[in-house]
Structure 1
Amino acid sequence: MLTNAFVLGAGGGQFNSGDIVFQLIMFLILMALLKKFAWGPLMGIMQQREDHIAGEITAAEASREEANKILEEQRQLLKEARTEAQAMIENSKKQGVEQREEIIASARQEAERLKESAKREIETQKEQAVAALQKQVASLSVLIASKVIEKELSADDQQKLINDYIQEVGEER
């Protein structure tokens, strides 16, 4: 009977309500099949895709936040390293200045010690030279005096006299 409805509806220009109902039922069945086999899986795939994209966005956000956190930590570490390096440079400069001052002070002390030593050496040499000169002058004076006086005084008396005279001259200085 259904087949007759198809055939009858196709023939004349009449309005056949059976055809409309049949087409409506077929349309609903087709929609149910599409919903079950096409629309449902398609929507499931779309939902999975949406969930996947949302997950990727969330992961990207978390990754970006983690990268920002790491970047901030690295900046802080770099800042600390720069501060530490600056402190080390300042400390090295301070130690260099201290060492320089110690070296200068040591050099000054050494120079003063050498100067004092040289003064003592000069004084000793001077005293030795004066003593040697006194001996030579005394000897020469004795020799000259003996020639002049021609043995009026003994050599020991003349030597004593000259030494006393040189001693007096040395004290006056």
Structure 2
Amino acid sequence: MEELFDGLLNDHLGFVVWAALAFVILLILLAKFAWKPIMGAISERERSIEDALLKAEAAKEEMARLTNENEQLLKQARAERDLILSEARKLKDQIVNEAKTQANVEGARMIEQARLEINSQKAIALADVKNQVAALSVEIAEKLLRKELADQKAQDEMVADLLREVKIS
């Protein structure tokens, strides 16, 4: 077996040397021309990944800041909305109370006006009744006097009675 190995080694020794020499040259060429660009590309890739991670972290922080700002704006908007609603309720209550007060005043004024109108109509009606009663009384008295004074003797007696009453008073 050793002979076989020696024979193969002697026959292929030139090939191994040339292959080793080609491999060393290839390594030198790769180290000089390919290794630096490959390592540069890897370094560049590492830097771009690191930059991307930093940018992602910055974006995450910015997003958190914006979210916080949005929450603050929402809280402020809710507070403003509550204030506006509260003021609207107060204004509504004020308007309703003013309307009630005005309605009460107007109602009282209308009632007073109606009372005055009723009193005025009552006074007119009473005056009318008094006038009618007076007219009827005069008419009745006239009829009675005509009847009583139809004869001359009754007239003389009545005039005498009236004169006595006037002198007494």
Using the size of structure 1 for normalisation, the TM-score is: 0.71
Give the stretch that moved more between structures: 100-109 or 73-82.
73-82
Counterpart amino acid of residue 93 in structure 1: R
Counterpart amino acid of residue 102 in structure 2: S
Residue 40 of structure 1 aligns with which residue? Answer: 36
Residue 131 of structure 2 aligns with which residue? Answer: 135
Shift of 1:136: 0.6
Distance 1:110 1:41 in 2: 99
Alpha carbons of structure 1 residues 12 and 121: separation in structure 2 relative to 1, 3 Å: closer
Identity, in percent, stands at 36
5+ residue gaps, structure 1, are 1-8, 14-18, 154-173
Q: State whether structure 2 residue 6 is matched by structure 1 residue 10.
A: no
Q: State whether structure 2 residue 143 is matched by structure 1 residue 147.
A: yes
Shift of 1:27: 5.5
Residue 86 of structure 2 aligns with which residue? Answer: 90
Residue 54 of structure 1 aligns with which residue? Answer: 50
Q: Report Cα offsets for 1:81-103 as digits up to 9, x if no partner.
A: 11111111111111001000000
Counterpart amino acid of residue 10 in structure 2: A
The Cα RMSD (Å) is: 2.8
Q: State whether structure 2 residue 136 is matched by structure 1 residue 103.
A: no
5+ residue gaps, structure 2, are 1-8, 150-154, 159-169
Shift of 1:11: 4.6
* Larger relative contact order (CA 8 Å, sep ≥ 6): 1
Residue 65 of structure 1 aligns with which residue? Answer: 61
Distance 1:12 1:37 in 2: 31
Residue 112 of structure 1 aligns with which residue? Answer: 108
